[in-house]
């Protein structure tokens, strides 16, 4: 085996597999320790804000336009397990004021990476000197970058809570403030944005219709964007709260993480649109088309949906608790790990949908058309099924009240998958 072949084999057979396992370990650790990690992050952010305020009071730093979370060469070389958190004015790297920065301890993250790196280091010895120190340095860099990806996901959640503290509100800011994360003086991405500039609705409509690149983290709340043609636009983590979006066209758009809280959505076209992680909390949605859209991990809690097309929509991992849905087609929907607690789907067309590990506690499915619905690991014991239509259902681990069993049009073999509760 040549050195090139050995390196390719090492990367493909070991690095890829081990780093995938590392990603899963990190995700599990964050999930298990989320509350503690959030508190630590907020306290770290509070320390930065206090330092900013102190330096601004002494005339040592200007109004803040950027806050960055950065990893650098020391992280890649294994010499540091901290991110550098730094505040800048609008001149960013070019300003001459005293540096305003603090460390953010990420050893909880890097300890998992180091464990993976040591395992790969041991594996590399099998190649009898064909894997060099430079190769292993590249492996470490790859691990740091993957850690950064995991950290970005966590910080996106944490920063939304951190910016609510009084200390952040009291610092002097530019009209536009961005919080970013990534490589020191290299590629980084926005994870939070404030923009208090006054905006003209007509100008913003023309700007968006021009589809000039990606509109990430744009603050466009309380604008009249009705009737605009935004087909195929890319607008990630933007804020469209309280906007008038009636008669607007977002067909085939990518609107990941965008906020639509209390927006006016009437006769709006979201057909085949990516709306993963979007927020429609408490929003009234009328006569709109979401057919074929991805609404994974989206929030429709307390929303009211009437006269819409939600056919073939993916609601996996979404929150539809206390959502009221009327006169709407939900045929062929995907509800995997979806929260439908206390939702009202009575009289709705849910034919040929998939319900898997769904929370239906207190949900109203009375008079709903559930023919052809596949139930997998679902509890219907606290669900209103009065006059619901069943037939040709696929069933796997379905928990149901004894009085409701007769409503199911299933075979004797399928009945073995029922968990019957009196």
* SS3 label, residue 186: coil
Closest CA to 336 of 302, 301, 376: 376
The confidence score (pLDDT) of residue 81 equals 92
The confidence score (pLDDT) of residue 96 equals 61
Is residue 324 a contact partner of residue 348, using CB atoms and an 8 Å limit?
A: no
Kindly state the helix (H) or strand (E) to which residue 28 belongs, with its residue range. Answer: helix 16-32
Is residue 393 a contact partner of residue 374, using CB atoms and an 8 Å limit?
A: yes
Give the number of other CB atoms < 10 A from CB of residue 287. 16
Give the Å distances, CA to CA, from 391 to 331, 355, 401.
Answer: 14, 15, 17
- Phi, then psi, of 53 in degrees rounded to 5: -60, -45
Taking only Cα atoms into account, the Rg of the chain, rounded to an integer number of angstroms, comes to: 26
Sheet holding 265-266, edge to edge: 265-266, 284-286, 304-306, 324-326
DSSP state at residue 124: H
Model-level pTM? Answer: 0.82
* SS3 label, residue 114: helix
Task: Tell me the sheet residues that pair with 384.
Answer: 364
The confidence score (pLDDT) of residue 406 equals 84
* SS3 label, residue 234: strand
CATH architecture for segment(s) 314-422 = 3 Solenoid (2.160)
What are the residue ranges of CATH 2.160.20.80 in the chain? Answer: 314-422
Three-state secondary structure string covering 264-319: EEECCECCCCECCCCECCCCEEECCECCCCECCCCECCCCEEECCECCCCECCCCE
State the pairing for strand pair 64-71/82-88.
antiparallel
Q: What is the pLDDT along the chain (422 residues), one digit of tens a residue?
A: 888 999 999 999 999 999 999 999 999 999 999 999 999 999 999 999 999 999 999 999 999 999 999 988 888 888 899 999 999 998 876 666 678 999 999 999 999 999 999 999 999 999 888 999 999 999 999 999 899 999 999 999 999 999 999 999 999 999 999 999 988 877 889 999 999 999 999 999 999 999 988 898 999 999 999 999 999 999 999 999 999 999 999 999 999 999 999 999 999 999 999 999 999 999 999 999 999 999 999 999 999 999 999 999 999 999 999 999 999 999 999 999 999 999 999 999 999 999 999 999 999 999 999 999 999 999 999 999 999 999 889 999 999 999 888 888 788 888 888 999 98
Q: Cα 260–261–263 angle (5° rounding)?
A: 65
Give the distance, in angstroms, between the CA of residue 85 and the centroid of all CA atoms in the same chain.
23
Tokens coding 305: 């949906």
The confidence score (pLDDT) of residue 308 equals 97
């Amino acid at each position: 085996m040549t050195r090139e072949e050995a390196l390719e084999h090492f990367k493909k057979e070991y690095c890829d597999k081990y780093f995938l396992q590392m990603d899963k370990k990190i995700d599990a650790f964050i999930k298990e320790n989320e509350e503690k990690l959030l508190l630590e992050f907020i306290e770290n952010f509070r320390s930065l804000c206090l330092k900013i305020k102190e330096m601004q009071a002494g005339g040592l730093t200007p109004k803040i336009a950027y806050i960055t979370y950065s990893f650098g060469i020391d992280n890649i070389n294994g010499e540091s397990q901290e991110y550098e958190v730094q505040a800048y004015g609008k001149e960013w790297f070019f300003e001459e004021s005293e540096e305003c920065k603090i460390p953010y301890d990420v050893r909880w993250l890097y300890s998992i990476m180091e464990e993976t790196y040591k395992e790969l280091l041991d594996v590399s010895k099998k190649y009898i000197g064909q894997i060099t120190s430079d190769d292993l340095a590249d492996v470490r860099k790859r691990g740091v970058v993957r850690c950064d990806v995991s950290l970005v996901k966590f910080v996106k959640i944490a920063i939304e809570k951190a910016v609510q503290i009084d200390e952040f509100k009291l610092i002097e800011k530019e009209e536009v403030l961005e919080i970013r994360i990534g490589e020191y003086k290299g590629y980084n991405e926005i994870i939070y944005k404030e923009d208090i500039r006054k905006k003209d609705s007509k100008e913003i409509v023309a700007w968006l219709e021009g589809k000039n690149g990606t509109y990430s983290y744009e603050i466009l709340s309380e604008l009249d964007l009705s009737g605009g043609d935004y087909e195929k636009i890319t607008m990630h983590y933007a804020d469209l709260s309280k906007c008038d979006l009636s008669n607007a066209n977002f067909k085939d758009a990518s609107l990941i993480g965008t906020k639509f809280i209390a927006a006016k959505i009437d006769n709006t076209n979201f057909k085949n649109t990516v709306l993963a992680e979007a927020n429609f909390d408490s929003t009234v949605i009328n006569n709109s088309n979401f057919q074929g859209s991805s609404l994974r991990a989206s929030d429709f809690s307390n929303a009211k949906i009437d006269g819409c097309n939600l056919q073939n929509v993916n609601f996996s991992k979404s929150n539809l608790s206390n959502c009221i849905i009327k006169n709407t087609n939900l045929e062929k929907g995907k509800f995997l790990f979806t929260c439908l607690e206390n939702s009202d789907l009575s009289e709705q067309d849910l034919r040929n949908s998939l319900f898997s590990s769904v929370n239906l506690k207190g949900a109203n499915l009375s008079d709903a058309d559930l023919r052809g619905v596949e139930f997998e690991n679902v509890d219907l014991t606290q669900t209103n099924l009065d006059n619901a239509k069943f037939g040709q259902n696929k069933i796997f681990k379905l928990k149901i009240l004894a009085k409701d069993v007769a409503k199911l049009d299933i075979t004797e073999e399928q009945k073995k998958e029922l968990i019957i509760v009196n």
